[in-house]
Amino acid sequence: MAELPQKEQLALHEFSVRYRAALAKQHQTPEQSLDTVRDAVREQYEQEQDAKRSPSVEPPSPTKEREPDEPEP
């Protein structure tokens, strides 16, 4: 933004700061947002723990029967 003429830069910056402040005032966050984040972190943590508890999930056997690929020409 360095090449912006000063007048526009100042005006748009002032607008941006005030727009953010107004949005923050209108939608005072955070408890709902932080609840969402906490739940997501727990969910991800539990998935990791499940994966650790059952490390013996075997990758699909290469010899296992599978649907054929595209028919050979």
Number of helices and strands in the chain (H, E): 2, 0
Instruction: Decide if residue 20 touches other proteins (CB under 8 A).
Output: yes
Minimum Å gap between C-beta 39 and other proteins is 7
> Which C-beta is closer to other proteins: that of 7 or that of 64?
7
> Does residue 43 interact with other proteins by CB under 8 A?
yes
Which amino acid makes up residue 58? E
Separation of alpha carbons 22 and 16, rounded Å: 10
Instruction: For residues 49 and 43, give the distance between their C-alpha atoms in angstroms, rounded to a whole number.
Output: 10
Return residues touching other proteins (CB under 8 A).
Answer: 1, 3-4, 7-8, 10-27, 29-30, 32-34, 36-45
